[in-house]
Structure 1
């Protein structure tokens, strides 16, 4: 393992922040896999998975079983890791401006297309190399002023050359579930089967420019702009939600790491037999068909259905109870589907997100399909 410590520009004189990068395998070997944890810095299950993944990779490296190269970023957000308010960890949003750390990544597709157009030809492999080079050039040219902008630029520069990109997160309370682009559904299904995912959510554009789309959408956009040239979708990127915030244990971390190893073996990054692919626990569904359930009023939250439950159209998933009168307001699903995520909060304000149901009929028709 080779460790790099990248300095991030300081926000204040005398303040040093760094990004630690751990590399396995021969530099420049293919396939290249990139794995980062806790871009939302208060989501710890991914960090635990990386702790166990690193141990597995160290053993495999000693045994000469790494065919490609693997980049690990165990803590992808040192800015959010240090944010505390009255003892509470705030790692999802930047306290400097309230922005979500996994939103607003630069959309590089147009810049990559402008740089690469004249370099494309009839050789698909040469086109892949040209697009990767153009993507790195575009990332290098990004303007960055705030600490979060510098962090995003650094993460993109690490991930853009990769063949496989896994961004490890978690929800409040949830089943394992995945987000990826619709054209990448086959690999998403393979990864989901290995991880035992309860939901696989697909979108062409999810809105708000999360990290995983920032590294894959340039390939889709270049291919669409230059249909006369062979342009493979040469980067698979996926957001992996490892259950809920409290699901941090060596047992789950070890199982998640072993599943990632098997996925990387199937993709040729690691040597060894991963065994038969487990049966998938879910069918892919459109992200637009993921129904957000919100509290219509303030009050105590009492869930009537457990995680993993199949709910029917019109069925009550939770009740919001007025603590003064005892009046109960039902929160219902408009269509049938799987309750794959819910909040850990047990008192809600009006409009607060309470849960998510993976359905089959699009219910979100706006341009932003992800949670804030």
Structure 2
């Protein structure tokens, strides 16, 4: 395992253990998590692997096989760039009163960066999972996910919801994770596409967008302001959509329409999956994308072309996934139409002078776990 070899090379010793946490794809339920709504993600086969040993002092030494220079953090506030996601987990645990010392860490990741597959959550969760075991903290998987979310919210400065971290921590192989983001209750939903002659293709547009730049936070404020104007705790509580929309205008009205209808789409997809009507979820994926494009306004030209050309090529349905403004789209495709979809999407990009997107199938993988 190359992460172990790199650990030996970097620190002259064997790591105490090796852990892995996956990235995620969100099947449906976008921008609903921070509105106390419903989400349906699943873990992907790619993720972040970490070889770690504890230290007796509070120094954190970091090396990533994707970055040339190793980093030593004598204090957590020295963290910059990708190291903030690691330092944030240490900071949250220490702030909570856990006796967490330092660590020597080597990171290896194969989640495509900027693809909207939540490499940052995977990094946070793998570190949290390892520290939980190394320092015998006794945290549940959900508590690890909440620790990772708080690290991203309060240390990194990205006001994300709980979905990404929960999917990375709690997902099960072959299943999607239904989550009520208010109660934090979860339920595994069987998601065996192969038995239905289907594949879920990820279309990585190659367009990167740094979500902490303010656009994501602005959408979240729109939702919070809309809920406040409606006298509700969160947009999840809207029961009369028509009445709510009549009281709102502009961005708040559009954001509310998306969140409320997206929650209903999550429930509808779960109903279809439980009924074995997997192919029929495609129409709901299409509707989700249109809502994200027109009501939540987080799509971009490359995502729109990926979705439109995938459907033109024969996909049962497609939509952008992740925070938006770049990253990836997903397409539900029958086995016999996979090559047609690949060719149609690639041709559409070429016609516009864009670099060809990466297209690969994703199957539901297991959540965070110890490997060695």
Q: Same fold by TM-score, threshold 0.5 exceeded?
A: no
Whose RCO is larger (CA < 8 A, sep 6+)? 2
User: Greater strand percent: which structure?
Assistant: 1
Q: TM-score normalised to the size of structure 1?
A: 0.25
Higher helix share: 2
- TM-score with structure 2 length normalisation? 0.25
